[in-house]
A and B are shown apart, each in its own frame.
Chain A
Amino acid sequence: MTAVTTGPGGRPDGAALILGSTAAITARNLRRLVRVPTLLVFATVQPVLFVLLFTYTFGGAIHAPGVTRYIDYLLPGILVLAIGFGASQTGVAIAEDLTTGMIDRFRSLPVPGAAVLAGRVIADALRNLFVAALMIAVGAAIGFRFHAGPAAALAAVALAVATGVAFSWLNLLLGLAVRDPESAGLAGLFPVIILFFTSSALVPVATMPGWLQAFARANPVTVITGALRALCLGGPTARPAAEAAAWLAGLLAVAVPAAVARYRHATST
């Protein structure tokens, strides 16, 4: 048992510790992603189902402006939906870590809270990159095409992933606040469902009753979907992209410091 008392080597400080621990937490969450069945379903089956179900149920009835195929109009919207649904699992996971004592363990180690939370968000961003690629591939198989060139296509994927990052931070805050995995899941899904159906994700805002149009236009899902559509379909992109970026920056400015502050005092009892 001699090794127990002799230190196993130097302990780096500052940046090295933060980077190393963020990488370790990211690796842990990526492993969970492929090993926990519900996470795997949220990352694979659900996005594919969204593409196919929405295309074949609404596709015949809705005639969206400016596109010949509904899938071109739909895909940006359901990208936001799939990423929003997936992000609810971020809140579930952090609440689970709280109740199982994993957060207690992390907090008893010299790891900054930001590293624990960032490690989760980075793993989620990689998952969302995969989700976006999968949905685009399935969409392409049934007729989806990028119409604004490869640079805009890449920018669309980047915006989708950035949206996921903002949603993940919001769900981290939720999960740390409600502290119960099931409540965190519901609390994470509910706003996404409401915002999704009151946005331009499925239908043009102009088809909605007047009183809803004002809300739908301000809805962040409409704004982000609008920017994604501009990047996918072509047309003016600067203004929608700037609006979407402003929404995401605003959400992050609130959620990141609040989540880090919550984490600092989070404990399982």
Chain B
Amino acid sequence: MTDAAIVAEGIGKRFGPVPALDGVDLVLPAGGVLGLLGPNGAGKTTLVRVLATLLRPDRGRARVAGFDVADQPREVRRRIGLSGQYAAVDPFLTGQENLVMIGRLCGLSARQARRRAGDLIGQLDLAGTAGRLVRAYSGGMRRRLDVAASLVAAPPVLFLDEPTTGLDPRGRLALWQVLGELAGTGTSVLLTTQYIEEAERLASMIMIIDHGTVIASGTPGQLRDRAGGDRLDLQAAPGEDPRHLAGALAPLGTGEPVVDEAAGRVILPVADLAASLPAVAARLAAAGLHVSALAVRRPTLEEAFLAVTGQPAGPSAPGPDAACPPAARPGPARRTRSAR
């Protein structure tokens, strides 16, 4: 056994002429949570399918929980849990029946399977609905049941493929809570997501993939550094045009200012706050512009993602918008690039 939960080297997989994965290397240390981030079609799900023994790679090798996915798939399957993009639970069974069935398929006795199902129903807060047919479940409950199903065998390695896609804000927050607790128990987790906030919230390591190749990886902090320097957040005073603000301050930034016209906000990348703040104040005074708020912060992961991919991560996670006061959010969810 190696210490790493997952080691993948040079994984390649084609569907017809299209390379879905083109030489992906990946290491997930035991007990770690790796967030696999990328736009739709980047190859995230294909990579999970290869590592979960569902697809054979065309090239490359991978070991999961110490076993080769191509040569020892049965051994790998004893040690993994998979919660896929589409909740794979039987709609015509009750939640409890689904979990008992999975338990039996993992080799538990009927009694063990019932006890295990009961434990998970409690942990994932499904007690009120466990006796109902899954057909009547909400999307959030279905996902929680799907995650519960992937936990039945207490696997040391867990794959979560876009676990919160399609959930409403409440469902997303509830599942984050569960996954956060799970990550704290020593289970190694490979999580794919389109939501930067999800990766940031749950993952200790992040890997960004696009067009089947890894384009960046590191801790959230290291990735933020990739976006370069700090960010100056300015709120134009009521009635002021944020584009004027952006125009006046643009020469002080290390990059193009980002303007959110509707919100009256400007975000300016700056090299060093201490050095730039007096110059910013002087510029504002000289131009006769007023701001109602000014803050400096580290770049968000979304900005890092933009810096490395040249495109946004995907739909912005609506979850925390609704649940947290706006002040708790470091970056605006939607913004338009300045015309300049």
Contacts and interface: CB of A to CB of B under 8 A. Distances in A.
A106 B187 contact: no
Nearest to A24: B104
B240 interface: no
A95 to B, nearest CB: 15
Interface residues on chain B, size class: 35 or more
Interface of B: 45-46, 49, 52-56, 74, 77-78, 80-82, 84-88, 90, 92-93, 97, 100-109, 112, 115-116, 119-120, 123, 133, 149, 151-154, 156, 181-182, 184-187
Nearest to B151: A4
B90 A28 contact: yes
Contact of A104 (B82, B151, B154, B186): B82
10 contacts: A2-B185, A5-B187, A8-B103, A8-B154, A28-B90, A35-B133, A101-B87, A105-B88, A107-B77, A108-B82
Given A12-B107, A23-B104, A267-B54, A32 B185 contact: no
Contacts of B123: 1, 3-4
B185 A108 contact: no
Interface residues of A, number: 41
A106 B105 contact: yes
Given A9-B112, A20-B107, A267-B54, A28 B88 contact: no
B57 to A, nearest CB: 13
B185 A1 contact: yes
Interface of A: 1-13, 16-17, 20-21, 23-25, 27-28, 31-32, 35-36, 100-102, 104-111, 265, 267-269
Contacts of B149: 105
Nearest to A103: B88
Contact of A11 (B46, B87, B107): B107
B154 A7 contact: yes
Contact of B104 (A13, A20, A107, A269): A20
A5 B154 CA distance: 5
A268 B156 CA distance: 25
Nearest to B103: A8
A269 B49 contact: yes
A24 B105 contact: yes
